[in-house]
Amino acid sequence: MIEAIIIALIIAADRITKILAVNHLKGAGSYDLIDGVLRLTYVENTGASFSMLSDSTVLLTIFSGIVIVIMILFLIKQKKRNRAINLFLLSISSIIGGAIGNLFDRIAYGYVVDFIDFYIINFAVFNIADCFITIGAVLFCACLIFDKRIIV
């Protein structure tokens, strides 16, 4: 099942980058990659996206776990359909992989490690898992809107 490999690769990429962030950025301030645009900044996020529900780690852990199980069941259901669309399966796999990456942090540390900082637009600091969740969600919605073969 190619989706399981994609999920595992996303989790691995997320873990590796977060380990690097902890080892090289924690307590070191920010490191500019593109001056005025992009820097690496270590942040411990106890909330969800944009630090919503800060200090609600238990609630977010339970919610994330439930969402992951639902998305895995949904992936299996879609995979069993003969009309399953590869891009749609990729979107679901991306969401699952990213969600598992962030869930790991919540369980292991009580917070999510964030480190990518687009400070040119004063955007929230985020991580690789967040990128895959966001890209997966956009692809998921696009598939639902534009591909009439998809039945939820």
The answer to whether the CB of 106 falls within 8 A of the CB of 47 is no
Asked, for residue 151, whether it belongs to a domain, the answer is: no
Asked, for residue 51, whether it belongs to a domain, the answer is: yes
Q: What is the pLDDT of residues 125-152, one digit of tens each?
A: 999 999 999 999 999 999 989 877 776 6
Asked, for residue 93, whether it belongs to a domain, the answer is: yes
The number of folded domains in the chain is: 1
Proportion of the chain above pLDDT 90, given as a percent: 63
Asked, for residue 20, whether it belongs to a domain, the answer is: yes
Structural domain that includes position 76: 2-146
Asked, for residue 112, whether it belongs to a domain, the answer is: yes
Residues that are catalytic: 114, 130
Asked, for residue 43, whether it belongs to a domain, the answer is: yes
Q: What is the pLDDT of residues 10-45, one digit of tens each?
A: 999 999 999 999 999 998 888 899 998 999 999 998
Asked, for residue 80, whether it belongs to a domain, the answer is: yes
Between 75 and 84, whose confidence is greater?
75
**In the predicted structure, residue 7 carries a pLDDT above the cut 80:** yes
Give the span between the Cα atoms of 44 and 51, in whole angstroms. 10
Write a three-state SS string for 66-105: HHHHHHHHHHHHHHHCCCCCHHHHHHHHHHHHHHHHHHHH
User: Considering the entire predicted model, what is its pTM?
Assistant: 0.89
Asked, for residue 117, whether it belongs to a domain, the answer is: yes
